[in-house]
Chain A
Amino acid sequence: MTTRYAIVHVTTYEYTEPVSLCQNVAHLAARPCAHQSNSSPVLSISPEPAVIEERVDYFGNPVHYFTIQEPHRRLTVRVDHVIGVAPRPSPAPASTPAWEAVRDRLTTDRGTPWLDAAQFAFDSRYVAAHPRYADFAGPSFPPGRPVLAAALDLVHRVHAGFAFDPQATTLATPVLEVFEKRRGVCQDFAHLLLACLRSLGLAARYVSGYLCTVPPAGTPRLVGADATHAWVSLFCGDAGWVDLDPTNDQIPADRHVLLAWGRDYDDVSPLKGVILGGGQHRVKVSVDVTPTPDESPP
């Protein structure tokens, strides 16, 4: 049964000096995928962009490019959309192939989906393999263990062993530092989990999206709401891709709304830009994800 969410995501930058030129790439629209029905997003940008264009990036995500060419001290980017999320069946962990079998076939099989998955097995800008990650992940990956069972065990250990702490890290904190400090935010945990899985030779992608803000009656509020969220999707061979949320120790079901995927944050960051001028700046992000009555999308 599909759950429908009304999503409002507002990002505001305020500058102490005027910005004369600003060029941006935004991953703020949801990519088409089997378990989601997406309304077309309404993007409102102030000041009015001189150029705004939509295209599909290398990974199949919708992306907006826009530029603001008039001097401004405040930039607001607001996106409104309604997205229906259907629960996804996930494979029984014990039924998935042995993790080594997936690892080995990734290096030899050139057919789809293996070649496509191989894209996500290598180092990327924010996530580089390291023997320390392989050592950390090792206890969850004994020989022959089904890949999803092993990964869920690893997710559980990351969740148990790392503290959610928005003060501990910034965008620039390297994964290795997160690993040593044992604290961070959803994006750090996603990067860490990717680093562990890729250090073992597995393919996994970074997923950016939202979490439902309002918990259903009787269930706890999930961490990471009121902001963009990030999790991981693991390639399980013939069992396909399975999403894993290390921040909440679970397989995302119908409360995770997917926007885009890539190798790491750099491929799919919701909004990145380059500015000329601006002095000091302050950023405010607000996200509202509200379940709406099940009616036809606007």
Chain B
Amino acid sequence: MPDRPPDSPPAAPAPPGYGESAGRDGVPRPHWTPLFDSLRDLGPPELVRRWREASQLIRENGVTYNVYGDPHGTARPWQLDPIPLLIPTAEAATLERGLVQRGRLLEAVLADLYGPQRLLKDGLVPPELVFPNPGFLRPVHGLRVPDGRYLHLYAANLGRGSDGRWRVLGDRTQAPSGAGYALENRIVMTRTLPEAFRDCKVQRLAPFFQALRDTLRSLAPRNKDNPRVVLLTPGPYNETYFEHAYLARYLGYTLVEGGDLTVRDNRVYLKVLGGLQPVEVIFRRLDDDFCDPLELRPDSFLGVPGLVHAVRRGNVAVANALGTGLLETPALAAFLPALCRALLGEELELGSARTWWCGDPESLRAVLDRLPDLVVKPTFPASRLEPAFPAELSANQLAALVDRIRHRPRDYVAQERLDLSSSPVLEGDQLVSRKLVVRAYLAAQVGGGFAVMPGGLTRVSASADTTVVSMQRGGGSKDTWVLAEAEVGDFSLLPAANGRVTLTRSGGDLPSRVADNLFWLGRYAERAEGLTRLLRGIVVRLTERPGLADCPELPALLKALADQADPKWPRPTATGAATGAAADPFARVFPAVYDRADPNSLVSVVASLRLVASVVRDLISLDMWRVVNTLGDFPVPANSADDDELTPADLLDLLNRTVITLAAFGGLAAESMTRGDVWRFLDMGRKLERSLHTIGLLKATLVRPPAQEGPLLDAILEVADSAMTYRRRYLGSLRAEAVLDLVVEDETNPRSLASQLAALADDVDHLPRPAGSAGRAPEQRFALAALGSVRLAEPDRLAAVEGDARPALAELLDHVGGWLPILSDAITQQYLSHLQTSRHLATFETPRSTGADAGDRL
């Protein structure tokens, strides 16, 4: 079957099933004509070129999706195909009607099950789907929800059968994911195919998000004009974390983790540097049983202790309402037609794929009779069991599945396997067909009803012979274009170019956890730089001179490297019996760069830097984020130290590049960040870490100087990036007191210890303090104590050698080195202390969830 260039549908016959872009005769459907015309005008090479650009943009913007089950939580670039899925106006209208009815129906079911439970008494819903359902949250039974609304954002997965009719494959009622990816897809597509977007008259997404925002604001129990709305995320390990950060930014909400919130006096507060700020609405991306360890799942601390009670008292609104996960049982689909008649007095317009709940004996028989045509799902998605496709199972596996179903039929649901429709995707410069599923989104509207997103997230199968559509299984996504009959007006939530804004210089209040992350971002960035400079100092000597004997300063530098190590990961020093591999200095340097198990190796520090940066990426500039991303492309050889592929020269090249990248990060921080709390915490982290690095370096090298000190002084100036200044001042004469003056005392040298401490003292002076507090705070006093002792020291005394050591230098370094941890603790105590984690009053501790499995999956 030859593929065709991208100006017409893929060659017929496409895979069996409905063709979105063309009928079985291969003739394009009329509503696709403007798109194909536009693609033809563009021509395949231009399309491919633009697409490459867009993919680059996606990678640089860090649009990612965490692959579930990856222990490192590795983020994978988001996969977007440049050919949108088109839905004509009339079809979209029919879908909209059906979706809205379905949303109303689900809310009516929720109101009953969390209220009088008449549906159970009348036999319309089996108790087996409610009582043992982990999504049935007894603590929220009987709670009134604002305006009677449960589903503020509801999503339905739609598949089109071979008869051309759309059916619902699954409902997402508690915290549906993907709306943010749909938005990102749209933004990329309007840049990639602006002509086609215009020609096709595509409906805008912004009004939908405006409706969602209005609804969330309307939920606020008080302060309705300007309520604080937060987006609650399980955290950066969650598979759709990127989207949480993206949506928070787009909708203008603070992105928070459970630990950022606290309940006092039955009200929810956000912990910010200046104290506690009331929160009125929580837009959650956390599954509902994770939301409160006190009254819901005891093993989750991703939520907020006391939240349920604050909701009960009507002091905070949670969207979607707690308990809505109850309806995510796929078994419900089997009962919806009858429920629709009973509750709404209407026929269900948008039905589900045919569904059987095996707990019903007749359904069980029907299922076992036609198992190969079905997909089998667990009744309760909380079990996180994967769906089974009996047609793909071996005889043994199939028999085991049948046994499991027969053992507890009520735990299984079977659904007819639709022969999904196909749509063209770009592969190379050809269009090929892939199966697809569309996730449609509805937002509750103020005053009743729902707004339907004119679009959605289309997902396509990973390959031509895959009929299962799942991002976890490597599938891709598409933008979804709902076509309008008339011209579409411009409306955007993104800041308008000519709009007026209220001038402000404050950036809102910084959550304490974010301040903590910024502090660590600064520390990791500086730790990486200090380590890289030291490693470079060592490696450059190894490449120039082959052995220890030629290089008298090398043992001291290796000692500095060893002293930096984590106590659990000792690094050999140059002194002592160096034998075998340890005698080869290069073999010692290698693990300090590449050993992933060593938390202080360069690769580990860079990984930490990247993770912390990803958590605060809504606060750092895109350029800073790109710099951090560049570091992530660290070439790691497959093998460890005995890998002889990598020469010292290669390593030197890598270290040189890393130094420059890290310098770029530092430069961006210094030049492009406003001097608010965000910058201040980042800067404190940097200055503190650089002080510790300098102290460590001097302790390992100059306190017990080698007989021939010149080369070592040279190396120290190099590692401390002060060699140029020194040469200009002293030409070739290397003297310890001059080096110490420049590296320790000289406050005009931005690399000196005194400079770091002066900057720290200044940063600390500018931290927010309670109004009316008199005198210096502890952290101010500690910073001054460290700075004062450096300022009072005399370079000549520091350089004085008694016996084989420099006692004054040792004393100063110990003294300042002792103050820094105290200073760090004082900052933590004053600003970050409420970051302690909660735990149960009980005699046991349960393992903590990372949040990877606490949200909706795509």
Contact = CB atoms under 8 A, between A and B. Distances in A.
A51 interface: yes
Main SS class of interface, B: loop
A23 B305 contact: yes
B502 interface: no
Interface stretch (A34-42, A116-124, A136-144, A233-241): A116-124
B267 to A, nearest CB: 10
Given A21-B262, A172-B844, A272 B127 contact: no
A119 B141 CA distance: 14
B141 A275 contact: no
Interface residues on A, range: 35 or more
B309 interface: yes
Interface stretch (B131-139, B492-500, B681-689, B726-734): B131-139
Contact of B120 (A55, A115, A171, A267): A115
B184 interface: no
Residue among A21, A22, A171, A274 with max Cβ neighbours from chain B (10 Å): A274
A95 to B, nearest CB: 28
A171 B841 CA distance: 12
Given A110-B120, A115-B121, A273 B841 contact: yes
Interface in B105-158: 120-123, 127-128, 131-132, 138-139, 141-142
A277 B646 CA distance: 49
Contact of B305 (A58, A111, A118, A274): A274
A286 interface: no
B265 A24 contact: no
A13 B841 contact: yes
A40 B121 CA distance: 34
A273 B840 contact: yes
A121 B834 CA distance: 42
Given A23-B263, A69-B264, A115 B841 contact: no
B128 to A, nearest CB: 8
Contacts of A271: 841
A222 interface: no
A59 B837 CA distance: 31
Contact of B836 (A69, A272, A276): A276
B131 A25 contact: no
Contacts of B131: 118-119, 121-122
Contacts of B305: 23, 274
Contacts of B846: 172
Interface string A38-56: 0000000000001101010
Query: Of residues A50, A275, A283, which shows the largest number of chain B Cβ atoms within 10 Å of its Cβ?
Result: A275
Nearest to B133: A122
Interface in B403-431: 407
Interface residues of B, number: 37
A181 interface: no
A170 interface: yes
A103 to B, nearest CB: 14
Interface string A1-36: 000000000000100000011111100000000000
Contacts of A65: 309
Given A51-B265, A115-B120, A272 B844 contact: no
A274 B266 contact: no
A274 B840 contact: yes
A276 to B, nearest CB: 5
Contact of B838 (A25, A171, A267, A275): A275
Contacts of B266: 51, 67
Contact of B138 (A58, A115, A278, A283): A58
A171 B839 contact: no
B841 A57 contact: no
Contact of B265 (A69, A110, A125, A131): A69
A53 B266 CA distance: 10
B328 to A, nearest CB: 18
A117 B670 CA distance: 67
B771 interface: no
B572 interface: no
A104 interface: no
B842 A118 contact: no
A57 B138 CA distance: 8
Nearest to A274: B305
Contacts of B132: 122-123
B293 interface: yes
Interface in A232-279: 266-267, 271-278
Given A110-B120, A122-B131, A171 B842 contact: yes
Given A58-B138, A119-B131, 9 more contacts: A58-B142, A110-B123, A110-B127, A170-B844, A266-B298, A272-B294, A274-B305, A275-B838, A276-B837
17 contacts: A21-B262, A50-B265, A55-B312, A110-B121, A115-B121, A125-B298, A170-B843, A171-B842, A267-B138, A271-B841, A272-B294, A273-B841, A274-B293, A274-B294, A274-B839, A275-B838, A275-B840
Interface of B: 120-123, 127-128, 131-132, 138-139, 141-142, 262-266, 293-295, 298, 305-306, 309, 312, 407, 834, 836-844, 846
CB-based closest 10 A-B pairs: A122-B132, A172-B844, A273-B841, A58-B138, A274-B305, A23-B306, A274-B294, A274-B838, A23-B305, A118-B127
